[in-house]
Structure 1
């Protein structure tokens, strides 16, 4: 019974965090006059040129990344990775439909700043139970593992590449894109320990190794 409750809380954090993260992404998209995050620049660019939805392109690019990394590593991804790929795209489309379009610059600035904060804490919540990295994180780790490059170099290179491709497709690039690259990681570093601490308290854990190394997921 105890282990069931522990696993249930981990999944609640995982799914709830993805929902909150997707809300943050949609808020930045509604404030896209400032620019949006690198991967979202690509997804919006694909949406504008080919159609479908922004969330659909998040799922499609995620699927391609998961497939490639799985073939290279010869390792089947965790179920959380597949769920991450599917659910974030669905949540993005839901919140893009739910949230109103913003016309004034002031409203877009507020939406963008709020979106970055919400996005960062969403990442902290969904990563804290350690149920599977997202497709883009898996790609980053693949380059680090295969070539021994630094995490910061790999992340910057990937984000620069997808931003350039998205920009060429007409995706919104601006000062906000730079702000996401510079500050989102730092906000996540603040959010993640806080979210882990909350999860440990809820599950009555004193040692996080029990939580992260539990193999019931």
Structure 2
């Protein structure tokens, strides 16, 4: 089995093609987060933590997302990870997009509407993750933490990701975040969805084969 080459490439290479995809992917990521929140059926592990902190501090969801992103970014220092333009854009664009979505979209009461929002949020998040990662402009704070720990500890991406996600989920749940069927749906679906979308949105260098030997599969947010 082969996986797509997702190693970062300088922004100066094809910026007209890649920057719009980066911004579009991150905007969709924030919108999809907002849809999951409004569904009221459960959030992804990191958003359980974000929601709990938002409820306890009174800050908007997007603001908390950005603050946590910056704090996680500080954890890159001891593991020697370097941010890219995609890292900075991740913090700013996702935070703004989720706040705008929550401001414009009221919470529905009908269960079928909530289910539709959940499905749209999960699928949209899978596409957004693929688009953002596939453009190869640098990992987001949480992804960089995951890959950095994996490189330093020599543990697999799967083990490190699972440990980080469970830590975020457990902390958020203890602080009062929403855990529900949506949390399970997201956990089971986000990997396969991202994997399915990636081949269609990944940016490839001209004249370069962007396929490598399998190292455990593409990394998803």
- Residues 78-93 of structure 1: pairs in structure 2 closer than 5 A: 78-93=84-99
Whole-Å separation in 1 of the counterparts to 2:130 and 2:149: 23
Report deviation, 1:163. Answer: 0.8
Match of 1:16 in 2: 24
Match of 2:110 in 1: 104
Superimposed CA distance per residue, residues 103-137 of structure 1 (whole angstroms, 9 cap, x where no aligned partner): 12111111001110011101111111101111000
**Residue of 165, 185, 201 corresponding to 2:191:** 185
TM-score, length basis structure 1:
0.86
Whole-Å separation in 1 of the counterparts to 2:63 and 2:18: 26
Whole-Å separation in 2 of the counterparts to 1:132 and 1:79: 6
Relative to 1, partners in 2 of residues 1:119 and 1:75: Cα closer, same or farther, differing over 3 Å?
closer
What is the aligned length?
A: 200
1:61 equivalenced with 2:61 (yes/no):
no
Whole-Å separation in 2 of the counterparts to 1:138 and 1:109: 31
1:159 equivalenced with 2:165 (yes/no):
yes
Match of 1:72 in 2: 78
Match of 1:144 in 2: 150
TM-score, length basis structure 2:
0.85
Match of 1:168 in 2: 174
Structure 1 consecutive aligned stretches of length 4 or more whose deviation exceeds 6 Å: none
- Aligned residue for 2:139, secondary structure, equals coil
- Aligned residue for 1:192, secondary structure, equals helix
Match of 2:213 in 1: none
Whole-Å separation in 2 of the counterparts to 1:62 and 1:187: 24
Superimposed CA distance per residue, residues 147-196 of structure 1 (whole angstroms, 9 cap, x where no aligned partner): 11111111111111111111111111012101111210110011111112
Query: Unpaired segments of 5 or more residues in structure 1?
Result: 210-217
Report deviation, 1:146. Answer: 1.2
Report deviation, 1:100. Answer: 2.1
Report deviation, 1:74. Answer: 3.8
Whole-Å separation in 2 of the counterparts to 1:155 and 1:76: 19
Match of 1:212 in 2: none
Match of 1:213 in 2: none
Report deviation, 1:75. Answer: 4.8
- Aligned residue for 2:95, secondary structure, equals helix
